[in-house]
Amino acid sequence: MQIKLVQQKRESIKADILIEYFTSQTLKNAEDAKLLERAGFKAEQDSICFLHEKGKLICGVDALDADSLRSASAVAIKALSTSAYKTLTLSLISTETIHALVEGFILGGYQFELYKSKPKDTPVESITLTSQANDFSAQEKIFNESLIVANATCFTRDIVNTAPQELNPETLALLAKKLSDENSLECTILNEAGLKEQNMHAMLAVGRASVHESQLIHLSYKPKNPKKIISLVGKGLTYDSGGLSLKPATSMVTMKMDKAGACAVLGIMKAASELGLDVEIHAFIGAVENMIGGNAYKPDDILVSRSKTTIEVRNTDAEGRLVLADVLDYAQEKVQADYIFDFATLTGACMVALGQYTTGVMGHSNKLKHHFFEAANNSGELVGTLPFNRHLKKLLKSDIADISNTSSKPYGGAITAGLFLDTFIKEDNKEKWLHFDIAGSAYTDTPWDCNVYGGTGAGVRLMSNFLKSL
């Protein structure tokens, strides 16, 4: 499907169907108001009405703002995918909502059919957005940037959705290398021999029972005279069985999504490099498979992390934080960054706290959190903060090691996981670091907004917006 923006009158574009958006108030003045009234259309959010004889699709929205238009456009493109219409056209609502329309159509129309023996044909071939604005060049720039970010989000979704027998730590490293070649990035990969040289014994323990070697991936995007230096760290559990603390069978289904943090980091690197941002970005990914076997790491094991902090293992299903402990330490040593952000499908507790649509944000800097609330509002992603406190940190106390990998009580699980990671953030970097728990927002089995079944690409639009604001 091709989507384009042209500086023409809408009437001059020949298309099979015209898309129009109305609120309950603007509907009263619509050209087809009486016809729509007879059809029972009330312009409620995400409602649609086909006027086939007029070649129109009417979409209801609560307001003509970005969030409403994004969701309505996703509903529209899904409805059109079951029709015979091939070419669509619509007028831009405003410059501020260009990105929402692009994301609604591209992300709402996303399909992952790699494993279908008979993939469905998508009838929609082209969407033409028309504008007669005086600042068309500015609109065109926003449109092109929106395309890059939306396509990077789909790229991220593809990796999340790829089956675990195909995407393991070694093939994820190959995928990262392919991205680096295509986007002129620097790429360094450490295999298990390299991980041992770096004393990354916590990360190595998690992947010990897998037939696939664990990998540490470091991608770098280095423009000339960057304004800032950013380190991104991604949890890349290509599959998580829970280890010897085995997950229930139903909980293991969808555990291919436990690599979504790593996938988001790759998507952000793709977007940033194609946008040509003047920000230097380093991506660090811990790619591991958590399996069972005679050599699997066990509850009661004591692991010595790269930072020399000793960790008592109480649950092998709290594995992502062990991987991140070593990768965060490595990233801080390799790059003196202005900001450090990690993305991880870390805890089911985050979904309990914030729901399945919202990314949990944790860290010490309220100023930095505020910047991400702005980025979330602008990008259409949802974030919520979970506060650290000294009382919850006490729950990670171990009597035989420096720290336990799980809390001694079942409350505040997302926060105690964040506090575990905080242990491995150097004092000088505390105000520079934020942890993003995307356990709920990274994958969905029920379509919502512009997200369809499977990986959502959570984090890509959010971080891209933040990076552009720098």
* CA proximity to 271, closest of 433, 437, 103: 103
Q: What are phi and psi of 241, to 5 degrees?
A: -80, -15
Chain-centre distance for alpha carbon 181: 22
Active-site residue flag, 247: yes
Q: What are phi and psi of 436, to 5 degrees?
A: -115, 110
Q: Got the DSSP string for 37-81?
A: HHTT----TT-EEEEGGGTEEEEE-SSSSHHHHHHHHHHHHHHHT
Q: Which of 247, 369, 426, 468 is catalytic?
A: 247
Q: CB of 337 within 8 A of CB of 230?
A: yes
Residue count (the chain): 470
* Rounded distance between C-alpha atoms, residue 72 and residue 83, angstroms: 17
Active-site residue flag, 227: no
* Rounded distance between C-alpha atoms, residue 85 and residue 387, angstroms: 50
* Rounded distance between C-alpha atoms, residue 343 and residue 361, angstroms: 10
What token pair was written down for 433? 């670091």
Q: CB of 366 within 8 A of CB of 333?
A: no
* Rounded distance between C-alpha atoms, residue 282 and residue 337, angstroms: 9
* Burial tier of 182 (Cβ tally within 10 Å: 0-12, 13-18, 19+): exposed
Cα 24-26-29 angle, rounded to 5 deg: 120
* Rounded distance between C-alpha atoms, residue 61 and residue 55, angstroms: 20
| 3-state helix vs strand vs coil in the chain, percent to 5 | 40, 20, 40
Q: Which of 157, 321, 432, 461 is catalytic?
A: 321
* Rounded distance between C-alpha atoms, residue 304 and residue 201, angstroms: 6
Q: CB of 41 within 8 A of CB of 167?
A: no
Helix (H) or strand (E) holding 378: helix 366-379
Which residue's structure tokens are 């991608």?
A: 219
The CA-atom distances, in angstroms, between 439 and each of 5, 89, 292, 455 are 35, 37, 22, 11
* CA proximity to 253, closest of 467, 445, 21: 445
Q: Got the DSSP string for 100-153?
A: HHHHHHHHHT----TT-SSPPPP---EEEEE---TTHHHHHHHHHHHHHHHHHH
Q: Which residues are catalytic?
A: 247, 321
